[in-house]
Structure 1
């Protein structure tokens, strides 16, 4: 019943934020990076964040979440709070990076650090190395999720997928909270979006995925590869695009429309079609993880799948 109430709360709150944004002309303007053609209200991620934190507090007071995980996820409030103002005032990149670095350091402290990194052939157990890796991973996940939030339903459906996958593989009521918090927003964003998520939502979701990755890896080192595989649709696109732009000697801070999902929309695929196909790809990847006993094989198959898809996208819209 509580999860239903949270879904309804997220649904209604998103609706109210949408109407308020329209009334106050708080809309996402169309620019060179946009994949939309008409100004649309943004800030729907506020509903996700508020619902998420209410749910977390409920789990805490009903003893349904580990205290370490609760305290760490609560740090996400800082990134959401700053991103809320960034959506309105466009804060400087240096300030945002400083906040992200502070949040990453605090989160790692609360988690007790990143214990080890199992690379298959050998395991890195030097805590200085593993924590530096985790520190940058948190910052990268925050930013890449923001980069990939560009078309209707795309980042929201990814969060729902990861929440359901986490619930299936690991259990944990926090995954259910994540799913219903995003679903209430996703109703208004999935097809012909009435409102966008904004940085306030995307940065929080990226932070959460990074924390889940580190928390569960600290329980079992192989869990790192489970999360990296489940999240591969997003990080593969973001990393591939970053490397290609670097090789092209482009200014990486400059706005662009070269991510895979953006190039598909430029090739006249609708947002609805791109998002639906991304869900299918995610389900295939989940099948790899769930049914293949060796996670390294599942990871390799996922990379082969994603690389093949990238070649298909290159044929539709060249990376120029």
Structure 2
């Protein structure tokens, strides 16, 4: 790979690692996640890991050869502004969800090809759900970071197999920053993603899925399969809570991974989830390789 692609990745590692260390050592009491009866942790932990994660991505994108659409940049700026504010103080759910819908809509209008009109409301709602489910599933040490590393690494390999090296590099960037974050988030975590990190990664899943599909890098079902461990758990839990009349938007400990972690421990639950992530990713990779034969 040419140095114009490698150097930005190295800068991303340096920026992510350095800023994460700063948040842990020098700004530990800033944006603390104080445990409550729904938490999986027992001591206050800063939720600024996502800020460092996204800073690493930003540095690489600015230094790299990619030319991102202004609408794509606007989508992420909008979402990250609202989510970062939510990390500092509670933002009403209707305001947050409106920002999620608008951010996904901006991505859809940035696509190189127009969609059929009836697909827009479907994709806007589906995309907003992906943003939210990543936030819902970010509730255990190492979980969201692992899904990001495994998921984007798999999508990156599939993009490379099909000749889309720009998207492959973008996936590699997200995976690299996820690796840095996991150094600090592996049980017992020293830092959390927070809303800015979890929703930002969720929107990145939506963006790469849509652009990869339209650019012919992969079929749309492939990211659906790769990220199945997240959306299956989150969707089942949401529907169960809605049917039972619970306040589904509030934090809870009813996801499968949470219930298993309470019973067997966080590390065992994380190993089980990692196995599921690798299994579904291998299915998608095998399909991509088979399609090339």
- Is the pair's TM-score, using the shorter chain for normalization, greater than 0.5? yes
Q: 2: CA distance between counterparts of 1:92 and 1:5?
A: 36
2:35 corresponds to 1:30: yes
* 1:39 aligned partner: 44
2:79 corresponds to 1:79: yes
Decide whether the 8 Å contact of 2:137 with 2:230 is kept in 1.
yes
Q: 2: CA distance between counterparts of 1:26 and 1:285?
A: 34
* 2:247 aligned partner: 251
Q: 2: CA distance between counterparts of 1:165 and 1:212?
A: 12
State the shift of 1:67 in Å.
4.2
Q: How does 1:1-320 map to 2 (within 5 A)?
A: 1-2=6-7, 3-22=9-28, 24=29, 26-59=31-64, 62=65, 65=66, 67-68=68-69, 72=72, 75-112=75-112, 115=115, 127-171=116-160, 172-220=168-216, 223-267=219-263, 269-292=264-287
Deviations 1:142-174 (A, max 9, x none): 110000001111001111111210111112211
| Mean Cα deviation higher: 217-226 or 228-237 | 217-226
* 2:163 aligned partner: none
Q: 2: CA distance between counterparts of 1:48 and 1:208?
A: 12
Decide whether the 8 Å contact of 1:10 with 1:48 is kept in 2.
yes
Q: 1: CA distance between counterparts of 2:200 and 2:123?
A: 17
User: What residue ranges of structure 1 are gaps of 5+ in the alignment?
Assistant: 116-126, 296-320
State the shift of 1:253 in Å.
2.7
| Mean Cα deviation higher: 145-154 or 12-21 | 12-21
Q: 2: CA distance between counterparts of 1:131 and 1:173?
A: 28
Q: Relative to structure 1, is the Cα distance of residues 85 and 290 closer, same or farther in structure 2, using a 3 angstrom cutoff? A: same
Deviation above 6 Å: which 4+ runs of structure 1?
A: none
Deviations 1:200-222 (A, max 9, x none): 10000000001111112223496
**What is the number of equivalent residue pairs in this alignment?**
277
Q: Relative to structure 1, is the Cα distance of residues 114 and 133 closer, same or farther in structure 2, using a 3 angstrom cutoff? A: farther
State the shift of 1:130 in Å.
0.9
State the shift of 1:74 in Å.
5.8
Taking structure 1 as the reference length, the TM-score comes to 0.80
Give the RMSD, CA atoms, in angstroms.
2.2
Q: Per the alignment, in what secondary structure is the counterpart of residue 27 of structure 2?
A: helix
Q: Relative to structure 1, is the Cα distance of residues 15 and 293 closer, same or farther in structure 2, using a 3 angstrom cutoff? A: closer
Q: 1: CA distance between counterparts of 2:41 and 2:258?
A: 10
Q: 2: CA distance between counterparts of 1:179 and 1:58?
A: 17
State the shift of 1:285 in Å.
1.2
User: What residue ranges of structure 2 are gaps of 5+ in the alignment?
Assistant: 1-5, 161-167
